[in-house]
Structure 1
């Protein structure tokens, strides 16, 4: 049976790896978004151009480019932005962009997809969050700072929970995932490459494999839940907060 998969934020990092992975699957059509007004030279993906999750009209622009009466079996919203900041140097513009990208844009994307009848009973919406959005896992050993990053992911988790309640009667499952600590330009750009080895960071291709396997088994029975498909290995506070011998995949606390 053919599947149509939409990846929002498909030009780099995890999104690019997911696009490449799903494109190799038989009978799978991959739709990928790019903020650029021109499509990347990756012919196996149907590109939706000029899609910026931080813009108010993102939902309308997205829906207008999906052809015909296409139904989507899975939507993965992977677009993200990480602006480094601290208590001594908070940054208003960075925080606004993080909240808008993580927790506001996805509401409008999913709203327009549902209202345009692009999602149906059995469809899945996967919101790429982070363990950094778990209030329970925040611990004094890690300290504070990076308010926009952590709090925007916590806000995304609430958005996902609320969407799951609104969409469950339609048979649409919504999941929140921490895909893993990755060796990407985003984490390098904020200086986290110095933690890649000690923190167990993996290439995005490896994280994409784990996430795709999790999504395959994800359904309405887990809607509204928050998971780490790769388990606790790269979550520094997991054992001190949740205990030892934790399973993989690991359901995360809010």
Structure 2
């Protein structure tokens, strides 16, 4: 069974992914910001790595050092996120910096440190210069909110750093896919779905849960895992909605009807 590392696994999608992968028999490493490992999700196959805050410069090296010496990760999923709402009249400087750092800066340092330490499975090609074979998979959890192409006047403006930090993460994913291709490491950028989480509730989005087709983190995880299984190096650097357009309010207006599942999203 694969070895999976979930960065940001204490709640929401990360917690659901950790539990689901563990139930399937995968060896799961799961990070938490606190230095006291959480008690949930609890499973014999989950090993907690506490004290990992992706918004700090040392998070990547600390994580690489904390993993057992011979551990090689088959699937890395970066779920850590931060969302504070803003309006044009009330932008929030410190919160914006933290959103960008958490969503777009931190993942670069985490992925780089893990690759440099040999912690993500790499296949460097065949003798004689052949193409790299399939190696590990890096899954960056973004959002349709980071798509410039899907922005539409019906949803208006505001929430500048929430949207733009995800746009920045999308570019990070594309660039990482280019840097890691010769190692056989594929990179996916995904919109896992509009979810019923504390994060969306805390910014007032719970009022749209029903009308927007929001799903539980468990449902989102159940859609994401088979997508990750089928994701290949040929798809690396692309931006996907594994659940399709069902919870993307602007999708039909911009992309048309009868859209496929999974759906490749516009940048």
TM-score in terms of structure 1 length? 0.98
Shift of 1:206: 0.2
Shift of 1:68: 1.4
Residue 242 (1) aligns with residue 255 (2):
yes
For residue 48 of structure 1, what is the aligned residue in structure 2?
49
Matched, 1:148 2:161: yes
How far apart are 1:222 and its partner, in Å?
A: 0.3
Aligned residues: 252
Q: Which moved more, 1:44-53 or 1:5-14?
A: 44-53
Partner of residue 105, structure 1: 106
By how many angstroms is 1:131 displaced?
A: 0.2
Aligned residue for 1:186, secondary structure, equals: helix
Distance 2:48 2:19 in 1: 13
Q: Which runs of 4+ in 1 moved over 4 A?
A: none
**Counterpart-to-counterpart distance in 2, 1:59 and 1:102:** 14
- Report the counterpart of residue 3 of structure 1 in structure 2: 2
Q: Deviations over 1:146-185 (max 9, x none)?
A: 0000000000000000000000011000000000000000
- 1:43 is displaced (CA, Å) by 4.3
RMSD between superposed Cα atoms in Å: 0.7
- SS of the equivalent of 2:16 reads helix
In structure 1, distance between residues paired with 2:235 and 2:20: 24
1:69 CA drift (Å): 1.3
- Structure 1 residues 118-157: aligned runs within 5 Å: 118-119=119-120, 120-121=122-123, 122-157=135-170
Report the counterpart of residue 252 of structure 1 in structure 2: 265
What does residue 198 of structure 2 align with? 185
**TM-score normalised by length of structure 2:** 0.93
Partner residue, 2:131: none
Contact kept in structure 1, 2:72 and 2:119, CA below 8 Å: yes
Q: How far apart, CA to CA, are the structure 1 residues paired with 2:6 and 2:92?
A: 29
- Residue of structure 2 equivalent to 1:71: 72
1:219 shift after superposition = 1.2
In structure 2, runs of 5+ residues without a counterpart are 124-134
What residue is the counterpart of 1:90 in the other structure?
A: 91
Residues in 2 aligned to 1:147 and 1:37: alpha-carbon distance in whole angstroms: 31
Match of 2:33 among 35, 50, 72: 35
C-alpha separation in 2, matches of 1:241 and 1:204: 27
Shift of residue 3, structure 1, vs aligned partner: 1.4
- 1:22 matched to which residue of 2? 21
Tell me the residue number matched to 1:196. 209
Q: Could you tell me how far apart the structure 1 residues matched to 2:116 and 2:260 are?
A: 38
- Tell me the secondary structure at the aligned position of residue 210 of structure 2: coil
Task: Encode CA deviations 1:196-226: one digit per residue, 9 max, x unaligned.
Answer: 0000000000000000010000010100000
SS at match of 1:47: strand
Q: Secondary structure at the match of 1:193?
A: helix
CA shift at 1:24, angstroms? Answer: 0.6
The offset of 1:250, in angstroms, is: 0.3
Counterpart Cα distance in 2 of 1:131 and 1:180: 8
In structure 2, the residue matched to 1:219 is: 232
